[in-house]
Structure 1
Amino acid sequence: MDWTGWIESRGEPAVLAFCGLLVGLGFGFFAQRSRFCLRAAVIEFWHGKFGDKLAVWLLAFATAVVGVQLLVVSGGLDVSTARQLSAQGSLSGALLGGLIFGVGMVMTRGCASRLLVLSANGNLRALLSGLIFAVVAQASLGGVLAPLREAMASWWVVDGGPARSVLALVGAGPWDGLVFAAVWLITALFFAHHSGWGFWKWAGGIGTGLMVALAWAGTYQVMANSFEPVQIQGLTFSGPSAEWLMRVLSEPGEPWTFGLGLMPGVFLGSLVGALVGGDWKLEGFGGGYTMPRYIIGAVLMGFGSMLAGGCAVGAGMTGGAIFAVTAWLTLLGMWMGGGLADRVLDRPHQRAKVPSGAAVAQQAP
């Protein structure tokens, strides 16, 4: 592919936006067909049930890590200049942001990417939550919540470079990362095999992970073949959500970016997936008590994602695939926060729904 000629004729912004659109179409379609969702995987894990939701997430994550590391060892990708590795990071922000985001995603019943996917499927709860998420993300980035975010992020910082790379910290290299990723993939395949999947679970899980690698590869090629400075970036939803919000509210004329192409791509890809699978259905709030929960959850996710440096896909899968320390801390926080929210908010409610006779039967030896 003649990247240089394409960039010269169209310009870097247009090429980046088109790459984002293509990646978004693939991610939205595969995520919709496979029911990819970190929240569902977290809940299954903390309930001690290793079912298909956890297996889908593991397969997508493992595929992303393997795909990225294959690109690195083959010379097709250099992530040393990615902000997750090269810039100063916040360990406190990663862990606390992950915890806050994890609580929020359980309250809204989906992480940032899942909300966008569900919105395209006709879910109005997800649409409202996604809009609130975008507003709070922007407020946390450069608005009224920015001072609080910056204060929390300053508690424990780490310099960019080797100090932000898991592989560098343990004295490992790209090939070691690939071996680790392969072991992770084998584990994911084991769980997937025992879940009794159909075609779309397999294709969707693998395809979702490959889109993470494709995002890195596409923006890297633009950076490598451009005469203008271009930042390599991966697949994420917190920054692009805030970016789209400001795009709608501001005067036209700002250049297009990868993230601006990504969001409509995910929406369209998920819409196609829903139509193919017959899943499109207009849904609202089932009861009045649920609306405050969704609003609070979206607020927590918006702030938590900006504090952590990304959402479940951006800080988790995208950063995790290049072995960024902050990304793995963020993932840990999300799993812990999600498990805590489920135990405190959902399990008591679920137990209250169990009929008294069933409860007595469950307690009987």
Structure 2
Amino acid sequence: MDLAFLLEHVAEPHLAAIFGLLVGAVFGFSAERSAFCLRAATVEFARGQLGPRVAVWLLTFSTAVIWVQGARLLGLFRVEEARMMAVTGSWSGAVIGGLMFGAGMVLARGCSGRLLVLAATGNLRSVVSGLIFAVVAQMALHGWLAPLRQELAALWTTPGGRNLDLLTAFALPQGGALLIGCGFAALALWLARANRIGVRVLVFASGVGFAVALGWVLTFSLAQQAFEPVSVASATFSGPSASTLMFFLTDNPVLDFDTGLVPGVFAGAFLSAALKRRLKFQGFDGESQMRRSMLGAALMGFGAMLAGGCAIGAGVSGGSIFVATAWLALLCMWIGAVITDWLVDQSAHPATA
């Protein structure tokens, strides 16, 4: 993708932030309309159902894989240039962080991306949880919790100073990933038909996956043509939440893709909710729910930084480019969420679980 005209008129950091705003807006609008959420999907699965939330999540994931791998085959994106693939991965971080994040999103009643979308609609519970998530993520990245995160991540890492590409590891043909994505899409559409999900919901669920692919392609194109180094990344909410928080707290804030992403998601979700007249202030029902949500947000903040990404960053963005530790983190998020739902919610309300 040729960005020469844009780079002549817009500074590189500003263009990166604009790309973040664009990707975030597409993500936020689509996620609000489709009610995309990994936590909702895992809870359905934990309760023996393959319902609409599972179908929506699978369609988003498969769409991301199809779009990203299609862009890869067309030469619009190279996986090896992605920030997530170019650094050492942590198996131990994926396991421990994934389990923590999975447990946290059940306690907080939403993954980090879903909390941001809900916050844009007036959900004050999500505002509080989202702020705690961002603060703990920043503490795990550069603050008091950073030494613990580094120690846990160093227990078991990928060799060679890079992450592991599952397609290369299993010697899959070049179009193999595209076929895998189509397989997940077929399963998602079958579940959607079984659950009578409307076409509009399916389109917007696919839009979330498209936003992930758009992020990869735009940041890759900018990295190829910019004079200064640009990280090739896509939608995620652990690092960007911390970056956005620090953007408003430091004298010399950094403007990049990450700092544009979070406001973009908020704006897109707000616009979607406003058009559908779904804007409504909501608070905590009581102290117990507040304690639960705060604990869940803290677990997600540390877990996401340890795992190398959140439910979106590792689960969809990392999964779409077949980063090995991202797939492991996603699996552990599912496991952590299912176990937490069994122990906390189903055991407390066995009759309605």
- Residue in structure 1 matched with residue 120 of structure 2 by the alignment: 120
Listed one character per residue, the Cα deviations across residues 108-166 of structure 1 (whole Å, up to 9, x for unaligned) are 00001000000011111110000000000000001100111111101100035776111
- Residue in structure 2 matched with residue 264 of structure 1 by the alignment: 263
Instruction: State the shift of 1:104 in Å.
Output: 0.2
Instruction: State the shift of 1:228 in Å.
Output: 2.4
- Residue in structure 2 matched with residue 52 of structure 1 by the alignment: 52
The equivalences for 1:140-179 within 5 A come to 140-159=140-159, 164-179=164-179
- Residue in structure 2 matched with residue 195 of structure 1 by the alignment: 195
Instruction: State the shift of 1:326 in Å.
Output: 0.5
C-alpha contact (below 8 Å) 2:23/2:215 kept by paired residues: yes
- Residue in structure 2 matched with residue 342 of structure 1 by the alignment: 341
- Residue in structure 2 matched with residue 78 of structure 1 by the alignment: 78
Instruction: State the shift of 1:352 in Å.
Output: 6.5
Instruction: State the shift of 1:172 in Å.
Output: 1.4
- Residue in structure 2 matched with residue 362 of structure 1 by the alignment: none
The equivalences for 1:1-365 within 5 A come to 2-159=2-159, 164-251=164-251, 253-351=252-350
Q: Which amino acid aligns with 2:330?
A: L
TM-score scaled by length of structure 2:
0.97
Instruction: State the shift of 1:254 in Å.
Output: 2.8
Instruction: State the shift of 1:68 in Å.
Output: 0.2
Instruction: State the shift of 1:74 in Å.
Output: 1.1
Unaligned runs of 5+ in 2: none
CA RMSD of aligned residues (A): 1.5
Instruction: State the shift of 1:97 in Å.
Output: 0.4
Instruction: State the shift of 1:231 in Å.
Output: 1.8
C-alpha contact (below 8 Å) 2:137/2:302 kept by paired residues: yes
Aligned residues: 353
TM-score scaled by length of structure 1:
0.94
C-alpha contact (below 8 Å) 1:163/1:169 kept by paired residues: no
State the alpha-carbon separation in 2 of the partners of residues 119 and 230 from structure 1.
29
Bigger-Rg structure (1/2): 1
Match of 2:280, SS state, is: coil
C-alpha contact (below 8 Å) 1:4/1:226 kept by paired residues: no
Listed one character per residue, the Cα deviations across residues 323-343 of structure 1 (whole Å, up to 9, x for unaligned) are 000110000010000001100
Instruction: State the shift of 1:2 in Å.
Output: 4.7
Bigger Cα displacement from structure 2, 158-167 vs 68-77: 158-167
State the alpha-carbon separation in 2 of the partners of residues 160 and 86 from structure 1.
10
C-alpha contact (below 8 Å) 2:136/2:301 kept by paired residues: yes
Bigger Cα displacement from structure 2, 46-55 vs 171-180: 171-180
Instruction: State the shift of 1:47 in Å.
Output: 1.1
State the alpha-carbon separation in 2 of the partners of residues 212 and 18 from structure 1.
15
Instruction: State the shift of 1:264 in Å.
Output: 0.7
Unaligned runs of 5+ in 1: 355-365
State the alpha-carbon separation in 2 of the partners of residues 163 and 81 from structure 1.
11
State the alpha-carbon separation in 1 of the partners of residues 59 and 258 from structure 2.
24
Question: Kindly tell me: are residues 45 and 141 of structure 1, through their superposed partners in 2, closer, same or farther at Cα, counting changes over 3 Å?
Answer: same
Q: Which amino acid aligns with 1:91?
A: W
C-alpha contact (below 8 Å) 1:37/1:114 kept by paired residues: yes
Question: Kindly tell me: are residues 199 and 185 of structure 1, through their superposed partners in 2, closer, same or farther at Cα, counting changes over 3 Å?
Answer: closer
Instruction: State the shift of 1:4 in Å.
Output: 1.4
Q: Which amino acid aligns with 2:35?
A: R
Question: Kindly tell me: are residues 229 and 162 of structure 1, through their superposed partners in 2, closer, same or farther at Cα, counting changes over 3 Å?
Answer: closer
State the alpha-carbon separation in 1 of the partners of residues 139 and 86 from structure 2.
25
Q: Which amino acid aligns with 1:39?
A: R
Question: Kindly tell me: are residues 49 and 157 of structure 1, through their superposed partners in 2, closer, same or farther at Cα, counting changes over 3 Å?
Answer: same
Instruction: State the shift of 1:188 in Å.
Output: 1.2
Q: Which amino acid aligns with 1:187?
A: L
State the alpha-carbon separation in 1 of the partners of residues 31 and 246 from structure 2.
26
Q: Which amino acid aligns with 2:271?
A: V
Identity %: 46
State the alpha-carbon separation in 1 of the partners of residues 303 and 268 from structure 2.
26
State the alpha-carbon separation in 1 of the partners of residues 344 and 54 from structure 2.
21
State the alpha-carbon separation in 2 of the partners of residues 326 and 123 from structure 1.
33
C-alpha contact (below 8 Å) 1:121/1:281 kept by paired residues: yes
State the alpha-carbon separation in 1 of the partners of residues 273 and 248 from structure 2.
26
Question: Kindly tell me: are residues 322 and 2 of structure 1, through their superposed partners in 2, closer, same or farther at Cα, counting changes over 3 Å?
Answer: closer
Listed one character per residue, the Cα deviations across residues 306-347 of structure 1 (whole Å, up to 9, x for unaligned) are 000111000110000000001100000100000011001101
C-alpha contact (below 8 Å) 1:39/1:338 kept by paired residues: yes
State the alpha-carbon separation in 2 of the partners of residues 226 and 109 from structure 1.
40
Question: Kindly tell me: are residues 330 and 213 of structure 1, through their superposed partners in 2, closer, same or farther at Cα, counting changes over 3 Å?
Answer: same
Q: Which amino acid aligns with 2:82?
A: A
